[in-house]
Amino acid sequence: MKHLFSLLLFVTLAVGAVPSQAQEKTKDELVTSLIQLFANDDREALSQRVDYPIERRKPIPPISNRDEFLDRFDTLFDAPFVEAIVSSDPEEDWVKMGQKGIMLHRGALWLDSEGDILAVNYVSEAEHELGNAILDRQKRELHPSVSEFEEPKLNWTTDSYHIRVDDLGEQTYRYAAWPVGTPTSEKPEVVITDGDVNYEGSGGNHDYAFEQGDYRYVCQVTVIGHPDSFPGWIEIYKDGELIKEEHVRSTE
């Protein structure tokens, strides 16, 4: 029995000494492997290390899949940004921020806990110009009464409405809505200014709320949800009672 116990103890220790293939990689290992892909310009491999979608600064649409990532790679990662990534030090320039992920240079690039690209906060000159071009086109296509604003926030279509929420500057928000099928070049059916934005915790989900007489319009924005979650939904109240609720079908 004594010999059997010694044999079992030896096997246990030996198995424990074998490195586990499932062992999680360290932060530096995850970062180093990503840096190497950028250094090799391996775009196909990089496209497989992305937690889609990659949100872009409005009015630029998000990057939703691998094909879009490859097509827009040069505007997302221009030469200066790639050089900053390739020349970065995994230990010194990348910081693990708890459950939020791994951050490069104060948030220029974020990775998730598995080392996949989670968010890109860097904006290249080409992307900046693209955003201005889209914004100018949107303003030209809007009715003059709502064509002036600082930054678009929402451009939604539900079953019944086409809805815009725009920042007029100094966090003053405007709500405009057209019946579905009505060109935005026509005057909106509803226009309300002086809306409020309200955030729910630290996850990013928030809403824009507007009041006009007995009516209250609330645009609920989903930032963190399930993979099949809608981007958001509109709630319309009259005298405090919910009279209509519709999910967002399109965000363009």
Which residues, at least 6 apart from 69, have a Cβ–Cβ distance to it below 8 Å? Answer: 46, 47, 50, 52, 54, 63, 76
Whether residue 85 sits in one domain with residue 181 = no
Report the SS3 class of residue 90: coil
Domain end call among 75, 93, 125: 125
Give the pLDDT score at 96.
92
Give the pLDDT score at 171.
85
Domain end call among 70, 94, 125: 125
Written as one letter, the residue type at 173 is Y
Instruction: Evaluate whether residue 6 is within a structural domain.
Output: no
Cα dihedral sign, 96-98-103-109? positive
Q: What pTM was computed for the model?
A: 0.72
Whether residue 65 sits in one domain with residue 96 = yes
Give the pLDDT score at 34.
97
Whether residue 87 sits in one domain with residue 34 = yes
| Orientation of helix 79-86 relative to helix 27-39, angle to 10° | 140
Give the pLDDT score at 58.
85
**Residue ranges of the chain whose pLDDT lies below 50:** 1-22
Number of domains, the chain: 2
Instruction: Evaluate whether residue 147 is within a structural domain.
Output: yes
Instruction: Evaluate whether residue 240 is within a structural domain.
Output: yes
Whether residue 175 sits in one domain with residue 118 = no
Whether residue 176 sits in one domain with residue 119 = no
Q: Say how far apart CA 178 and CA 142 lie, in whole Å.
A: 11
* Measured CA distances, 91 to 34, 95, 202, 213 (Å): 14, 8, 27, 57
Whether residue 120 sits in one domain with residue 73 = yes
Whether residue 149 sits in one domain with residue 112 = no
Q: Say how far apart CA 173 and CA 211 lie, in whole Å.
A: 12
Instruction: Evaluate whether residue 223 is within a structural domain.
Output: yes
Instruction: Evaluate whether residue 100 is within a structural domain.
Output: yes
Instruction: Evaluate whether residue 133 is within a structural domain.
Output: no
Whether residue 175 sits in one domain with residue 108 = no
Written as one letter, the residue type at 104 is L
Provide the domain limits for residue 29: 25-125
Whether residue 72 sits in one domain with residue 158 = no
Whether residue 88 sits in one domain with residue 42 = yes
Instruction: Kindly report, residue by residue over 89-143, the tens digit of the pLDDT.
Output: 999 999 998 888 999 998 999 999 999 999 999 999 999 999 999 999 999 999 9
